[in-house]
Structure 1
Amino acid sequence: MSLGDDNDGFGGSGQTRTRLPEGGTGDVYGGARRQPARNSRSLITVVGVVVLLIAAIAFANRGNGDDTATTGSSRDKSSGTDTPTAATGVPPVTGKNGQIPKGFARDEQGAQSAASNYAVALGSDGMFQPGPRRDIIHATHDPAVVTGLVKSLDASYSQGFLAAVGLDANGAAPTGLTFVSRTVPVGSKVLAFTNDSATVEVWCTGLVGLAGEGSTKPVTSTWFTLTQSLKWVGNDWRITSSKQTEGPTPVNGDNRASTADEIAKAVEGYGGFTYAR
């Protein structure tokens, strides 16, 4: 997949008010979802799919066929065992592989928890630096695909690409600015499951940009769904392939955009979570 392919492929709070689309059709999601595109490529265009590295992951897995295809039994959609927005089942894992949770249960809930936590790791700022990037890939992927994937990602995160998102050749932000890259899972569901494999969708929102006074690449948000094919390897779930699709994307609220300094302080002051279904 190419960096701009929506078919292949990895955050705000407060009250919002729904805007009706222009023209008074009453269809909230019909015509008011996006502002017209700018003439030049914005930061969100440049890194929209890179937030989760899905473009590079899909590139590394190209030729494997349809990533959404699965083996084994399809999940019984009528079971009604999952509450859509509530955490259920076993408690969160306590083990960690570096900074990434590990030791997920060998069941549907464990697969969803693994997929959600892996989405967070693959959407982090560590992916923009060679050492942390390789650690993340080793911690989240099937060892059988790691070597080829790391090689592809190292090539994708070229000096030119990093410069395009405002970073230096080592993935560091300019002095006085904070690089933000975060993925926040909103929900997850199992598409297929066997004792040794699973396919899980994770609906996410992401933040990416440079925060701080004078930033020309402000932090923006994006919405996407990540589909991960997982395999039970070494007593845990590991990714074998992934892809990303755009949305579902809500209508933008009327929240006032925070200043660059406020965003920088928020990113530095608020930690992340271990996600469990």
Structure 2
Amino acid sequence: MTVLSGAVPIPAEGVAPAQMTIPQQYVHRNADDDVLLSHFTADADGTYRIAVRWPHAHALFAPTADGRENPMLMAETVRQCGAVVSHLAYDAPLGQHFLLWNLRYEVPDAIHTAGLPLAPTEAVVRCPEVRLRGGKLSEFQLEVELRRESLLIGTGACRATCVSAAAYRRLRPPRPRPAAPAPLPAPLPPAQVGRDRAEDVLIAPSGRPGAWLLRVDQDHPVIFDSQSDHVPGRALIEAMRQTAAAATGRPHAVAPALDAEFHRYVELDEPCTLTAEPGPAPSPGRASVRVTLRQSAGPAATGLVTLGAPGPDPLP
């Protein structure tokens, strides 16, 4: 295995020119308004600059109670940056599977409390470590600065492994499909988790204090934007946020920071329980909640969700 440091791109046929429009399939999304990136530029020093275009109202990560953009769009932006850089800078072919191991983002306190717009115009991307196997991209770490003109409005990072379709089939052989899908448990009331529609509520009562059940509708048009044999990461982080909101009784709180670790796939045909416990004390005016998702094999994902008021005032 070869390890590259300092974001040195692979010299290969077909890699992106210095500047280009990003093909939609390179962000692994089908819906036009779910594509958050538009143009890609490769600098000589191994830095990548990607133009960002957030929709006015995203179908899953809707604007917050103060009318500002939902900071959880930063998580999706970081993930899409990883996909784009892997394809355009490191020549990962379409059809590769990306195993996401962690994903985080944070909005600086000063930006959040000032009530400034959160939609970035540019992502500045660096890859501090890249691993190659047989000359092909195997694993990468990504660090992202999200800027609105010259103003830093957020940071993020992720780590992912790239595997071929054949390797993925060996890793995840087809599971027997049930004759009929299990009925979804009844959701929490949408108002308890800051949602307007019941179909966007991803957690349900479990009958135990401090615990909830994951509920994911496989016909949801945004969560399952493309076919998947497991619960997508965007559903997991939104379920983490909803769990934190329900656990603290702060339905309209936003998540200016989130740090998620993914240990194994969350299977579609097994119950998944979410538990919440207080996290470390964050900065004044914020609260943090550690959320764990468990299935029969043990913990599948964990996330530290930081909650803040939707406006400039601190949480009560």
Higher-helix-fraction structure: 1
Compare relative contact order (CA 8 Å, sep 6+) and give the higher one, 1 or 2.
Answer: 1
Higher-strand-fraction structure: 2
TM-score normalised by structure 2 residue count = 0.27
